[in-house]
Structure 1
Amino acid sequence: MRYQEVEFPGHQGQTLTGILELPVTGKPVSYALFAHCFTCSKNFNNATNVSLQLASANIATLRFDFTGLGENLKNLGTNNFSTNVDDLLSAAKFLQDNFKAPEIIIGHSLGGTAAILASQNLPSVKAMITIAAPADMHSVSDLLSKDSNKSNSITVGDTPFIVNQGFLEDLKNHNTQTILEENRKAILIMHSPQDKIVSIDNASDLYSYAFHPKSFISMDKADHMLSRQEDSLYAGKVMASWLEKYLELEKRPTLETEKQAVVRTGTEKYYTEIRTGNHYIIADEPEHMHGQDLGPSPYDLLVSALGACTSMTLQMYAGRKEWDLQDVKVHVQHTKEHVQDSQSPTGKIDRITRDIELFGELDEAQRKRLIEIANRCPVHRTLEGQVVIDTTEKI
């Protein structure tokens, strides 16, 4: 995946930092905002994993640090709840001004509550997703604890955050039920029955507040923070699938051909899509060649084909002989070298070096024979043989 580090002004003029996770397939089909939990940051694993899964579905996701969180001081004492909602609106404006207005808003924990509130002022948003979100102020009160100095703090996971009374009073002024009843946007509610911080009853309440279209997914066995990687990756996959129902996602034209492979390169620098059979591959050039380094270069693919053919051929041969060849690693490198008597106009020849590692209980004779067989792999023979390439324009 690829990403872009961004900065944009918050509602009070302060600089907010974020990461825009982008799909490798070029232009995103849609943009999403991710509001992380108030004891997390934009770099938290669950936000990262969800963003990566959405990027796989060609959806770009902006996750950023709220005022007073992440790269800023971890103290909500100078903020109120509306501050965080305003930060989401500032992030949405940044996307609209520089990329495309967000159609999706996602929120985790108290960030889910903020996402619901922000959505009412974001006409571009067509779909909302909450993860382990509190349904109302009473649920947030359950997160509060008193420290030795008698100041309020919210503890989510192992991280306490100090909050002032103004933050809590401001939170009371927002009615999630009223907003969902008036909003009427598609919503996906995700919650774990085993959540020990925000009980699953909150998901039931949110679901009852919302009008259709609405959906609920049980994140069985997950904790509140989606600490296990498989849980956050699963959440991202479910989101991507669910969003297809409610967004008119622009589909890139499918690569079709009656031949062995078809390759397409558009105007996005050297980003290239390859389809061979049921398999899709991305090719690109490295950055020093003015590419984006989103995939292997053509020569990388060439030597990889030789390496793959070599290792497959050796395993096939060893299998027939019933030899104990457990593993094969083929290291390949392509270079162009000057040769004094070369018939090439440039005075250079192409050279591929191939180093083969053989693993298993093999004697010297077997190892020697396998190295000989490597030179008989079909791709090796093609590269050393006479190749005729016929080129025509397809009408």
Structure 2
Amino acid sequence: MPTERITFAGHDGSQLAARLDLPDGPVLATALFAHCFTCSKDIPAARRISARLAAMGIAVLRFDFTGLGHSEGEFANTTFTSNVEDLISAAQYLAGRNMAPALLIGHSLGGAAVLRARAGIPTVKAVVTLGAPSDPAHVSHHFEAALPQIEEDGSAEVSLGGRPFRIGKAFVDDIAKSALSSAIADLKAALLILHAPRDETVSIDNASAIFLAARHPKSFVTLDDADHLITRASDAEYAADVIAAWVSRYVKLCPPAPPPGAPEGVVRITEADPGGFMQDIQAGPNHHLVADEPASYGGTDKGMSPYGFVSAGLGACTSMTIRMYARRKGWPLTNVSVDVCHDKVHAQDAGLVNDGKVDQFRRKIRLSGPLDQEQRQRLLEIADKCPVHRTLEGSAHITTELLS
């Protein structure tokens, strides 16, 4: 997944640091990601979700709000409203590159910000919130003890997540008057709410309030026992999968024509876990799978093994070929199922004369319906004529080139 490091002007002209995660192929749509309160664009959840969307052809811009991470500006001078304005600035930057965002994703206070920013970004078709508060003022509990000093002195230094931040009175006043109910009701975009019932930072009641205030289409998916920052890799992976599956229903992903000689298009495999073996497999905008290895081989067993996919291809092609023949003949075949097992066996055990081991696929076919014995035998013969069967028995030619 290629990533561009870029900067653009925020609400006050400060240069905001951003990463634009791009697909390996054509950009089918663009998303804009807003991070959580005092976090950064590089938190694990943001990275994983961006990588997953990029694998399906959606570019993702994630940036540090003014005064945070690698962005310029003074955090003490920012407000919730300025965060919203930063988001609109980011959308305008993307539009200037002919990549106007169709999807907004916001984590925690970033979720509240995307709900408010939607009105200023007309190209957006879908909005996703993760652990978002229904009222921006909710974040004040992080520095509740400092509120009197902020009121008296105009600002105060507080510790958030073990790091010092200066919170200004303008921020406190702004979140106090930034109700979201009307913005949510008038969202004019599909809404997906992701929230953990045991979130100790932003309670699940906030998700309920957002859901009730929103109009359809809206969806609510639990993140189970994930923490507020979605720090566990498995929780971030689950959130990414849900978003990826949901967004294709509301954001039109128009794939380009397949390259010459590849009528089925390109199947793209992208490493999802450099520490293990898990792979994202994307076949066009609508089909996503995960490949992995069993735990005994150092994987996490979250997807089929490569040979499992080969076996699946053989079984699916066998079933389809049998169905096509029976349909053409008008035979009373009601159901087909195929079991496939793969193993490495000695050539002699497979009835071959060459030395060494060969791949052996054991295929068991079940045919249901009032078929006579002659029909059943003919369909068994037809199974050997399926294209994948012929490919595996033949000698496929594979060419490889190294891309820069």
- Report TM bin, short chain: 0.5 to 0.7
**TM-score scaled by structure 2?**
0.63
Q: Provide the secondary structure at the position in 2 that maps to 1:32.
A: strand
Amino acid at match of 2:105: I
Deviation at 1:230, TM superposition (A): 1.0
Matches within 5 A, 1:124-273: 124-146=123-145, 150-151=149-150, 157-159=161-163, 161-253=165-257, 263=262
For residues 319 and 142 of structure 1, what CA distance do their matches in structure 2 show?
Answer: 73
Q: Provide the secondary structure at the position in 1 that maps to 2:165.
A: strand
For residues 176 and 148 of structure 1, what CA distance do their matches in structure 2 show?
Answer: 22
Counterpart in the other structure of 1:316:
345
Whether 1:107 and 2:126 are equivalent positions in the alignment is no
**TM-score scaled by structure 1?**
0.64
Deviation at 1:194, TM superposition (A): 1.1
Cα shift readout 1:219-254 (whole Å, capped 9, x = no counterpart): 001000001011111111111111111112113446
Deviation at 1:126, TM superposition (A): 0.9
Q: Provide the secondary structure at the position in 1 that maps to 2:16.
A: strand
Cα shift readout 1:138-192 (whole Å, capped 9, x = no counterpart): 4223333436994556766555533111101112232200111122321111100
Counterpart in the other structure of 2:77:
78
Determine if contact 2:36/2:108 at 8 Å carries over to the other structure.
yes
Deviation at 1:51, TM superposition (A): 0.3
135-144 or 13-22: bigger deviation:
135-144
Whether 1:2 and 2:31 are equivalent positions in the alignment is no
Q: Provide the secondary structure at the position in 1 that maps to 2:32.
A: strand
For residues 195 and 268 of structure 2, what CA distance do their matches in structure 1 show?
Answer: 35
Determine if contact 2:146/2:158 at 8 Å carries over to the other structure.
no
Matches within 5 A, 1:292-311: none
Aligned residues: 289
Counterpart in the other structure of 1:348:
none
For residues 74 and 247 of structure 1, what CA distance do their matches in structure 2 show?
Answer: 34
82-91 or 218-227: bigger deviation:
82-91
Whether 1:63 and 2:62 are equivalent positions in the alignment is yes
For residues 77 and 161 of structure 1, what CA distance do their matches in structure 2 show?
Answer: 8
Amino acid at match of 1:187: L
Amino acid at match of 1:243: V
Amino acid at match of 1:239: I
Determine if contact 1:157/1:225 at 8 Å carries over to the other structure.
no
Deviation at 1:43, TM superposition (A): 1.2
Q: Provide the secondary structure at the position in 1 that maps to 2:203.
A: coil
Determine if contact 2:17/2:71 at 8 Å carries over to the other structure.
no
Cα 1:79–1:50 change in 2 (3 A) is: same
For residues 41 and 22 of structure 1, what CA distance do their matches in structure 2 show?
Answer: 19
Q: Percent identity?
A: 38
Amino acid at match of 1:46: A
Cα shift readout 1:311-331 (whole Å, capped 9, x = no counterpart): xxx95349969xxxxxxxxxx
Q: Provide the secondary structure at the position in 2 that maps to 1:239.
A: helix
For residues 183 and 255 of structure 1, what CA distance do their matches in structure 2 show?
Answer: 39
Cα 1:373–1:254 change in 2 (3 A) is: same
Stretches of structure 1 lacking an aligned partner (at least 5 in a row): 257-261, 266-272, 275-279, 284-313, 322-371, 378-386, 390-395
For residues 54 and 219 of structure 1, what CA distance do their matches in structure 2 show?
Answer: 18
Amino acid at match of 2:115: I
Deviation at 1:38, TM superposition (A): 2.0
Deviation at 1:10, TM superposition (A): 1.4
Cα 1:155–1:182 change in 2 (3 A) is: farther
Deviation at 1:78, TM superposition (A): 1.6
Whether 1:45 and 2:49 are equivalent positions in the alignment is no
Q: Provide the secondary structure at the position in 2 that maps to 1:316.
A: strand
For residues 116 and 155 of structure 1, what CA distance do their matches in structure 2 show?
Answer: 27
Counterpart in the other structure of 2:12:
12
Stretches of structure 2 lacking an aligned partner (at least 5 in a row): 151-155, 271-342, 360-394, 398-404
Determine if contact 1:75/1:161 at 8 Å carries over to the other structure.
no
